């Protein structure tokens, strides 16, 4: 009777320890006598509770690895802060549990190391504007190593990449200096254009004055020429013209405040004729 009870208890223990229900989204690794024996998928399974045991429970869902923020020095010795997130999946459970001691920590360290290496080969401005390139190169860099560990890299995203606090302050000062330089250049260019326009205006005015003087001179020359021709042909017209001019001049002299006495010739006509040489 006692033996039967003992046997029943052992059977119950064996059933409890031997029956395994694997939940959806996981696969369990079974070892027999300390050696890999197989993998059981979701559902009800019975294993030998004496010789076998469940050594690892591995998720088959996509794994999200948060990569902590770290300082990275760029090629031009600027310090920036970068962090990322990696999406991986266990594609070979045996390699994932026996190929590396802790595949999550291993992947996290590998992403950090390659991220520093990639950004370290870039200039500051290039690193801040090349997220897509960094993401692509990072995925390629870790894919082969992850495959050796039985992992598949689904995606790698750069969460944030920014200058450090000191670098941000330096960049703000540089931007302020650049804006001031542009303002000074703009003002200088405006003053230069103003001087050029003023000079061109003065040159144009001088050109117009010269043209006006030339026109006046040509008109005077033409007038003198016409008068000379008229004088040759008819002295009477010239006498009349010079007499008129003579009278106008005398009127101006007489109207001057400084003129007290105006002397007129006794014979104005004879005087005019003498001016033109007429007899």
Give me the sheet containing 79-90, strands edge to edge.
63-73, 79-90, 151-163
* pLDDT tens digits, one per residue of 124-155: 888 888 888 999 999 999 998 899 999 999 99
Average pLDDT over all residues of the chain: 80
* pLDDT tens digits, one per residue of 58-89: 999 999 999 998 888 888 888 889 999 999 99
Q: Rounded to an integer, what distance in angstroms lies between the CA atom of residue 126 and that of residue 136?
A: 15
Helix axes 268-276, 235-255, angle to 10 degrees: 120
* This model's pTM is above 0.95: no
Q: Rounded to an integer, what distance in angstroms lies between the CA atom of residue 177 and that of residue 169?
A: 12
Q: For each of the domains in the chain, give its residue range(s) and CATH number, in order of start.
A: 2-59 (no CATH), 63-163 (3.30.479.30), 234-279 (no CATH)
What per-residue confidence (pLDDT) applies to 33?
87
Contact indicator for 56, 28 with CB cutoff of 8 Å: yes
């Amino acid at each position: 009777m006692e033996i039967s009870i003992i046997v029943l208890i052992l059977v119950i223990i064996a059933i409890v320890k031997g029956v395994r229900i694997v939940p959806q989204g996981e696969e369990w690794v079974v070892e027999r006598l300390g050696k890999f024996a197989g993998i059981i998928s979701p559902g009800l399974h019975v294993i030998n509770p004496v010789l076998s045991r469940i050594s690892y429970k591995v998720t088959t869902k996509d794994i999200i690895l948060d990569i902590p923020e770290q300082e990275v020095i760029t090629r031009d010795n600027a310090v920036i802060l970068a962090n990322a997130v990696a999406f991986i999946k266990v594609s070979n459970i045996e390699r994932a549990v026996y190929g590396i001691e802790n595949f999550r920590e291993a992947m996290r360290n590998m992403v950090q190391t390659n991220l520093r290496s990639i950004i370290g080969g870039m200039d500051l401005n290039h690193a801040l504007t090349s997220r897509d390139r960094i993401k692509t190169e990072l995925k390629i860099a870790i894919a082969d190593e992850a495959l050796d560990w039985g992992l598949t890299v689904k995606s790698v995203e750069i969460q944030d990449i920014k200058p450090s606090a000191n670098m941000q302050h330096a960049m703000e000062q540089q931007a302020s200096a650049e804006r001031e330089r542009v303002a000074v250049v703009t003002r200088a260019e405006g003053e230069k254009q103003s001087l050029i326009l003023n000079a061109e205006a003065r040159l144009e005015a001088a050109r117009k004055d010269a043209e006006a003087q030339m026109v006046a001179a040509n008109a005077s020359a033409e007038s003198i020429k016409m008068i000379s021709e008229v004088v040759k042909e008819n002295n009477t017209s010239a006498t009349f013209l010079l007499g008129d001019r003579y009278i106008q001049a005398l009127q101006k002299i007489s109207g001057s405040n400084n003129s007290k006495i105006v002397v007129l010739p006794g014979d104005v006509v004879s005087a005019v004729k003498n001016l033109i040489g007429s007899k």
